[in-house]
Amino acid sequence: MALIRLILPILLLSMMASYIVPGVFATNPVCGPNIKFLPHENCRKFYQCNMGRATELNCPLELYFNAKLNLCDWPANNPRPECRQ
């Protein structure tokens, strides 16, 4: 189980590499060119952009969306102060 906790963020990073507009929190998400992920105001959620449409998704349990890295990560690593616990 400990090995999974160490590998999961790295695996997600490799699978979810993309672009994001830093510091923009999407309440009415608008996907533009080269934007694959948008942060949600809820730390456990994010939007995935596909063909100009945003789909709301949830991070796995215990993980929060890290907008700087565009992946679900441990709360302690999150750049948003309100998302660190």
Using alpha carbons only, give the angle 11, 14, 17 rounded to the nearest 5 degrees: 135
List, for residues 7-57, the tens digit of each pLDDT value: 555 444 434 434 444 445 545 788 888 889 999 999 999 999 998 899 999
- Using 50, 70 and 90 to split pLDDT, how confident is the model at 85? confident
Contact 59, 46 (CB under 8 A): yes
User: What's residue 32's pLDDT?
Assistant: 87
Report domain extents, the chain. Answer: 2-83
- pLDDT at position 73 over 90: yes
Q: Which of 51, 56, 53, 62 is nearest to 39 (CA)?
A: 56
CA distance 78 to 73: 7
**What is the CB-side half-sphere exposure of residue 31 using CA atoms within 13 A?**
17
Cα torsion through 25, 30, 36, 39, rounded to 10: 10
How confident is the model at residue 84, as a pLDDT?
A: 83
The pLDDT value recorded for residue 4 is: 54
